[in-house]
């Protein structure tokens, strides 16, 4: 009797596992059809700093990325960076940290960087204009939080040849000992 009950429970468990697997596969198909990313990657340990290169704000860059790539995050945004800091210091979260970004196109390794790092971008061209004090306050809070969680801090221009995130931001990152 106990053996029959146990066999019955095992059979039901196997059916439930199969149903769960089918649901997971269906969800992945839906995400892929809508070009959604799935926040299921291992938590990255690298934070890459960027600047927007112009004056566009979050909404404008999000729309630009939607029209250019159409790569929608699980949070409903198209921005390739996980986080964005406006001139006002307002922080936008566009992707989860463990969700693939679209912030680096490194020759030969674009997917590696986008799956293994978090992209944080500041509004503006910080090669020609200093970041605002509000941006720096928000950035400092974010950087301190990531450092406390064991993240390595990098900047775009140290990974591939580019002026990003701008000389003024690189100078600030060095002065505040976030990078060497």
CA atoms within 13 A on the CB side of 109: 8
Residue 180 counted as domain residue: no
146 contacts 153 by C-beta, under 8 angstroms:
yes
- What span, in angstroms and rounded, lies between the C-alpha atoms of 176 and 4? 67
- What span, in angstroms and rounded, lies between the C-alpha atoms of 52 and 44? 22
Residue 41 counted as domain residue: no
Please tell me whether residues 28 and 53 are part of one structural domain: no
What pLDDT was estimated at residue 26? 64
Please tell me whether residues 24 and 100 are part of one structural domain: no
Please tell me whether residues 8 and 57 are part of one structural domain: no
Given the DSSP bridges, would you call strands 152-155 and 83-85 parallel, antiparallel or unpaired?
unpaired
Domain count, the chain: 2
pLDDT in tens, 27-75: 655 555 555 566 677 889 999 999 999 999 999 999 999 999 888 898 9
pLDDT in tens, 149-169: 999 999 999 999 999 999 999
Q: Is the pLDDT of residue 84 over 90?
A: yes
Please tell me whether residues 66 and 138 are part of one structural domain: yes
Please tell me whether residues 23 and 98 are part of one structural domain: no
Residue recorded with tokens 């945004």: 77
Nearest to 87 by CA among 116, 128, 58: 58
pLDDT category at 81 given cuts 50, 70, 90 is: very high
Please tell me whether residues 66 and 154 are part of one structural domain: yes
Please tell me whether residues 58 and 131 are part of one structural domain: yes
Element (H, E) at 145: helix 133-148
81 contacts 51 by C-beta, under 8 angstroms:
no
Q: Is the pLDDT of residue 2 over 80?
A: no
Q: With pLDDT > 90 as the criterion, what percentage of the chain qualifies?
A: 64
- For 13, the domain range is 1-33
pLDDT in tens, 12-23: 888 878 787 676
In 3-state terms, what secondary structure has residue 62? helix
Query: What is the CATH classification number for the domain harbouring 75?
Result: 3.40.80.10
- What span, in angstroms and rounded, lies between the C-alpha atoms of 100 and 55? 25
């Amino acid at each position: 009797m106990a053996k029959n009950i146990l066999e019955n429970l095992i059979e039901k468990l196997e059916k439930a596992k199969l149903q769960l697997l089918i649901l997971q596969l269906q969800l992945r198909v839906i995400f892929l059809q809508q070009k959604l990313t799935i926040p299921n990657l291992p938590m990255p340990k690298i934070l890459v700093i960027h600047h927007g290169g112009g004056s566009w704000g979050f909404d404008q860059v999000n729309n630009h990325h939607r029209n250019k790539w159409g790569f929608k995050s699980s949070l409903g945004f198209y921005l390739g960076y996980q986080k964005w800091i406006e001139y006002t210091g307002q922080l936008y979260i566009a992707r989860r940290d463990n969700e693939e970004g679209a912030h680096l196109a490194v020759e030969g390794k674009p997917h590696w960087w986008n799956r293994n790092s978090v992209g944080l971008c500041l509004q503006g061209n910080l090669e020609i204009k200093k970041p605002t004090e509000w941006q720096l306050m928000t950035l400092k809070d974010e950087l301190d939080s990531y450092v406390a969680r064991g993240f390595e801090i990098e900047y775009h221009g140290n990974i591939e040849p580019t002026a990003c995130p701008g000389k003024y931001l690189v100078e600030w990152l060095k002065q505040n000992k976030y990078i060497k």
